[in-house]
């Protein structure tokens, strides 16, 4: 355009109007400044982020999460505020899903073993045709004598894997190093329920917990933590009272008002003792048919009088602040009077040879105080809203793994398929599964793990799966919140360009169809299988998602992260089996500590699930290795908790390496003396001691990282066949070696423990003044 006087005036006029308009629009203070380099860069906000709902897979409870995505990369994980079980909250473990996604040690493509088994020498191959051909051939030739071992599965993945296993003739078993089979059996025997119950901690007035570290690792800790916060300081309610009866001072015990150290394996006897007092003193809740519970035999519980049980359970006047018998009676009275009250049992209480008796006795207390099915008590969950989709798959116990080891040794099992588990690390060494696999002449092992671990290191073929943030999935939440709920998982990012994983369920569907199994597995991919599930939910025409079409329902389902129906609750009340307490009393037995026996120079070994690494499942994630243990504050290492006075007697100090020996084997661990360990108990966390895989999991040879599973006796829990992991006695000896302990305690100088009195930092108040 030619510059004329007229044009010039027109443009000048427009410019002036623009300038006035800009002023009028209200530009914020500082907006037009040239940014100074001394400004805080965080003051500047760039770009838009998106939040997608999905599911966390770093622990079995499977929380609802939202993931922040910017420029195609996942940046942050937080709790899904709508998700009924965790209600916007997460555990430390959830966050590290990001590190699994961007882990430097992810297996980038399919691999075939090139060296001898256990040499962990592999070479990369392509998916097509090599890897898929090898998988298909293995299934064709060995499918009828194969075993599929997966993590415990729920929802459509359980359906798919069950059908796939049936189609190829394989046995499918879920694997958990610390399985819940004994807890499930107790719930079934006491409440007649197939799925785990919910505990309404929000509304409880009294919690009595035996052995369950439910605020840290047991079953559904994020849900319980949220409820615990309300139990303590919720609006419009009085602060609840909490007793923890436990042979180890756990994070949960630390949160309790009173911790009562009990001799390992005697939790059930204590629970029966409390029941005896409640019955004898007529303290049962109104309407409770005590006669039915005792089978009409008022004397049924006479063997469990506190006078008999207190010394057997190792209670002393020092522990109970007076006469232990009177303490137990008072505890029974408070528990019965402070309704609604809940009795919870799990963890080490269910992990001795008499674990099933212990848990049944504990859960039966809930009938006496009338908290079964009630607000503030034990609530039950309904089954799956889908008829054909299992809410849970079978999880094997120690007996199953012993049988499978034998099958491998005898050559009966010729193919092992592994997904989401590391049984070599998670089973006692004395079972010799590793040796059986290495020595088997005609065994093929195929792993679908995205990371190398102790079991996949033995594989012939590794077909890396996608990680959860890249893949589809669903979950029939267990334990649910008392009503039906399904979580949905969607891929929030694509795998990075240098990675070539394939979704495990998609691989199964593809290969099944290549093998002519379309009739059992007709879906094109896992997403279409889930979509079918979504359409079925839409047809139910109930629940949290409103939509006018199946397509809209699917979209809303993914946006919300799941579907739930508060009206579809589990049974509101459950009838106790007649003579329940009498039946349980008949099962009573003392815990079995075979192995090195009860010599005076030996200790009870009470291992525990690591707060962040759990049983070792998260061992390769550095945030979780570096998260201090809440009590010892130790990171990265395997420590042994030893009573400080006992440590003095043994002449060991913090950082010394101790040899811990059972009748099976020995391990080494770094000493952490603590005032909270009972003098006759030592505790070692599960989770460390991996031999293969990421440096984050393995780069601390023997003396600082070891697997406590290696020394456990193979004692089984009676009637469930689970590993009695708290049923081992050990001896300890000095090695003369010492290391610098890797812990947070003492990391800061100004508020250092020992220099500043705790009461100056953490102030307390009496309940009546709070």
User: Rounded to the nearest whole angstrom, what is the least distance from the CB of residue 590 to other proteins in the complex?
Assistant: 22
Closest distance of CB 462 from other proteins, Å: 19
Q: Among candidates 259, 271, 103, 245, which has minimal Cα distance to 186?
A: 271
Alpha helices in 519-662 (DSSP H): 526-540, 550-560, 580-587, 622-626, 644-650
Rounded to the nearest 10 degrees, how much is the dihedral formed by the CA atoms of 663, 664, 665, 669? -70
Would you call 79 exposed, middle or buried from its count of C-beta atoms within 10 A (0-12, 13-18, 19+)? buried
68 is an interface residue for other proteins by CB under 8 A: yes
Q: Does 769 bind other proteins (CB under 8 A)?
A: yes
Question: 182 to 201, contacts with other proteins by CB under 8 A?
Answer: none
Nearest Cα to 478, choosing from 59, 137, 47, 26?
59
Q: Is the dihedral of CA 346, 350, 356, 358 positive or negative?
A: negative
Q: Count CB neighbours of 756 within 10 A.
A: 11
406 touches other proteins (CB under 8 A): no
Taking contact as CB under 8 A, which single stretch among the options 167-175, 384-392, 598-606, 762-770 is the one that binds other proteins?
Answer: 762-770
Query: Residue 50 in contact with residue 69, Cβ under 8 Å?
Result: yes
Give the neighbor-by-neighbor strand order of the sheet with 415-419: 122-124, 111-113, 461-462, 444-447, 415-419, 146-150, 171-174
**Interface with other proteins (CB under 8 A), residue from 69, 125, 496, 515:** 496
> To the nearest whole angstrom, how small is the minimum distance from the Cβ of residue 494 to other proteins?
12
d(CA 343, CA 364): 8
User: Judged by CB under 8 A, which of 66, 186, 378, 444 binds other proteins?
Assistant: 66
- Asked if 99 is part of the footprint of other proteins (rule: CB under 8 A), the reply reads yes
**Contact positions with other proteins (CB under 8 A) in 649-708:** 674-679, 700
Residues 311-330, interacting with other proteins (CB under 8 A):
316, 318-319, 321
Partners of 52 in the beta sheet? 67
- When asked if residue 50 is in the footprint of other proteins (CB under 8 A), the reply is no
Q: Copy the structure tokens of residue 44.
A: 């500047």
Examine residue 1 and tell whether it contacts other proteins (CB under 8 A): no
263 binds other proteins (CB under 8 A): no
Applying the rule CB under 8 A, the residues between 575 and 614 that interact with other proteins are: 611-612
- Supply the minimum distance, in Å, between the C-beta of residue 569 and other proteins: 24
Interface with other proteins in residues 198-217 (CB under 8 A): 215-216
Task: Using CB under 8 A, pick the residue from 643, 688, 714, 720 that binds other proteins.
Answer: 643
Using CB under 8 A, which residues numbered 70 to 89 contact other proteins?
Answer: 70-71, 73-79, 81, 86, 88-89
Q: Of 85, 95, 178, 368, which one interacts with other proteins (CB under 8 A)?
A: 95
Nearest CA among 456, 446, 463, 461 for reference residue 504: 463
630 binds other proteins (CB under 8 A): yes
Q: How far is CA 507 from CA 448, 464, 513, in A?
A: 10, 10, 10
Name the burial class of residue 744, with classes exposed (0-12), middle (13-18) and buried (19+) by CB atoms within 10 angstroms of its CB. middle
Stretch that binds other proteins, among 354-362, 370-378, 440-448, 620-628 (CB under 8 A): 620-628
Q: State the minimum distance, in angstroms, from the CB of residue 174 to other proteins.
A: 26
Q: Of the two residues 100 and 300, which places its CB atom closer to other proteins in the complex?
A: 100
Residue appearing with tokens 């009860």: 598
Tell whether residue 544 is a contact of other proteins (CB under 8 A). no
Residue 565 is given by DSSP the state E
Q: Greatest CA separation found in the chain?
A: 114
Q: How far is the CB of 180 from other proteins (least distance, A)?
A: 21
CB atoms within 10 A of CB 513: 15
CA pair distance 407, 400, nearest whole angstrom: 10
The burial class, CB within 10 Å (0-12 / 13-18 / 19+), for 235 is exposed
Of the pair 98, 402, the CB lying nearest other proteins is at 98
DSSP code at position 129: I
Which residue from 584, 559, 638 is spatially nearest to 295, judged by alpha carbons? 584
* Closest distance to other proteins from the beta carbon of 113 (Å): 25
Minimal distance, residue 542 CB to other proteins, in Å? 24
**299 or 769, CB closer to other proteins?**
769
Here's the x/- map for other proteins, 221-260, by CB under 8 A: it reads as xx--xx-xxx-xx-----x-x-------x-xx-xx-xxx-
What is the closest distance, in whole angstroms, from the C-beta atom of residue 256 to other proteins in the complex? 10
Residue 3 or residue 761: which is nearer to other proteins going by CB?
761
Q: Which listed residue (43, 388, 441, 601) binds other proteins by CB under 8 A?
A: 43
Among 98, 190, 290, 557, binds other proteins (CB under 8 A): 98
Q: Pick from 61, 276, 366, 637: which binds other proteins (CB under 8 A)?
A: 637
Identify which of residues 249 and 357 has a Cβ nearer to other proteins in the complex: 249
Which of 125, 136, 556, 622 binds other proteins (CB under 8 A)? It is 622
Q: Find out whether 565 and 385 touch, Cβ atoms under 8 Å.
A: yes
Interface mask toward other proteins for 103-132; x: CB under 8 A = xx-x--------------------------
Partners of 123 in the β-ladder = 112
Which tokens go with 164? Answer: 């796939």
């Amino acid at each position: 355009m030619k510059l004329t006087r007229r044009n010039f005036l027109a443009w000048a006029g427009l410019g002036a109007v623009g300038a006035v308009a800009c002023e009028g629009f209200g530009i914020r203070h500082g907006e037009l400044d040239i940014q100074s380099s001394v400004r805080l860069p965080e003051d500047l906000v760039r770009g838009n982020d998106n939040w997608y709902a999905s599911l966390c897979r770093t622990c079995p409870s499977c929380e609802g999460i939202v993931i922040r995505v910017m420029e195609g990369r996942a940046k942050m994980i937080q709790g899904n505020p709508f998700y009924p079980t965790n209600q916007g909250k997460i555990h430390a473990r959830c966050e590290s899903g990001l590190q699994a996604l961007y882990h430097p040690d992810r297996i980038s493509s399919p691999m075939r073993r090139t060296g001898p088994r256990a040499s962990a020498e592999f070479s990369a191959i392509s998916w097509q045709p090599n890897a898929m051909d090898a998988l298909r051939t293995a299934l064709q030739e060995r499918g009828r004598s194969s075993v599929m071992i997966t993590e415990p599965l729920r929802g459509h993945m359980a359906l798919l894997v069950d059908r796939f296993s049936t189609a190829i003739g394989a046995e499918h078993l879920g694997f958990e190093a610390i399985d819940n089979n004994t807890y499930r059996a107790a719930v079934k025997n006491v409440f007649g329920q197939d799925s785990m119950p919910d505990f309404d901690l929000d509304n409880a007035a009294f919690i009595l917990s035996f052995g369950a570290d439910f605020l840290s690792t047991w079953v559904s800790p994020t849900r319980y933590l949220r409820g615990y916060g309300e139990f303590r300081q919720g609006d419009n309610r009085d602060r609840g009272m909490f007793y923890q009866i436990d042979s180890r001072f756990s994070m949960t015990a630390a949160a309790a008002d009173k911790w009562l150290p009990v001799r390992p394996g005697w939790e059930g006897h204590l629970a029966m003792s409390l029941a005896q007092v409640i019955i004898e003193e007529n303290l049962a809740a109104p309407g409770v048919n005590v006669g039915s519970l005792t089978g009409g035999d008022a004397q049924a519980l006479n063997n469990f009088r506190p006078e008999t049980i207190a010394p057997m359970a190792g209670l002393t006047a020092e522990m109970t602040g007076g006469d232990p018998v009177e303490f137990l009676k008072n505890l029974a009275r408070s528990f019965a009077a402070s309704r609604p009250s809940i009795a919870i049992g799990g963890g080490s209480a269910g992990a001795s040879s008499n674990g099933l008796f212990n848990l049944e006795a504990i859960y039966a207390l809930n009938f006496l105080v009338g908290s079964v099915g009630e607000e503030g008590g034990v609530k039950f969950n309904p089954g799956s809203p889908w008829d054909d989709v299992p809410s849970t798959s079978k999880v094997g116990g120690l007996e199953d793994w012993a049988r499978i080891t034998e099958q491998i040794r005898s050559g009966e099992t010729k193919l092992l398929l592994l997904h989401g588990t590391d049984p070599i690390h998670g089973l006692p060494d004395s079972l010799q599964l590793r040796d059986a696999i290495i020595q088997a002449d005609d065994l093929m092992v195929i792993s679908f793990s995205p990371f190398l671990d102790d079991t996949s290191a033995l594989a012939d073929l590794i077909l890396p799966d996608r990680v959860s943030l890249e893949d589809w999935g669903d979950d029939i939440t267990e334990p649910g919140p008392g009503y039906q709920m399904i979580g949905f998982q969607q891929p929030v990012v694509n795998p990075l360009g240098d990675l070539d994983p394939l979704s495990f369920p998609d691989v199964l569907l593809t290969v099944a169809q290549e093998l002519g199994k379309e009739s059992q597995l007709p879906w094109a991919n896992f997403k279409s299988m889930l979509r079918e599930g979504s359409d079925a939910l839409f047809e139910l025409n109930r629940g949290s998602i409103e939509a006018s079409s199946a397509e809209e329902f699917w979209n809303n389902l993914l946006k919300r992260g799941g579907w739930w129906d508060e009206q579809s609750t589990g049974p509101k009340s459950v009838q106790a089996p007649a003579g329940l307490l009498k039946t349980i009393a008949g099962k009573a037995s003392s815990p079995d500590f075979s192995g090195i026996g009860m010599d005076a120079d030996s200790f009870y070994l009470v291992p525990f699930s690591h707060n962040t690494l759990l049983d070792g499942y998260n061992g390769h994630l550095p945030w979780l290795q570096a998260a201090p243990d809440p009590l010892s504050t130790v990171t990265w290492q395997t420590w042994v908790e030893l009573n400080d006075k006992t440590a003095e007697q043994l002449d060991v100090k913090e950082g010394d390496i101790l040899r811990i020996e059972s009748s099976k084997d020995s391990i080494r661990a770094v000493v952490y003396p603590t005032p909270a360990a009972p003098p006759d108990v030592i505790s070692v966390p599960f989770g460390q001691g991996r031999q293969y895989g990421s440096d984050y999991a393995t780069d601390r040879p023997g003396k600082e990282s070891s697997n406590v599973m290696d020394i456990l006796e193979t004692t089984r829990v009676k009637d469930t066949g689970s590993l009695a992991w708290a049923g081992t006695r050990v001896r300890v000896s000095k090695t003369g070696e010492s290391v610098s302990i890797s812990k947070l305690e003492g990391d800061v100088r100004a508020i250092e423990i020992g220099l500043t009195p705790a009461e100056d930092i953490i102030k307390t108040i009496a309940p009546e003044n709070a």
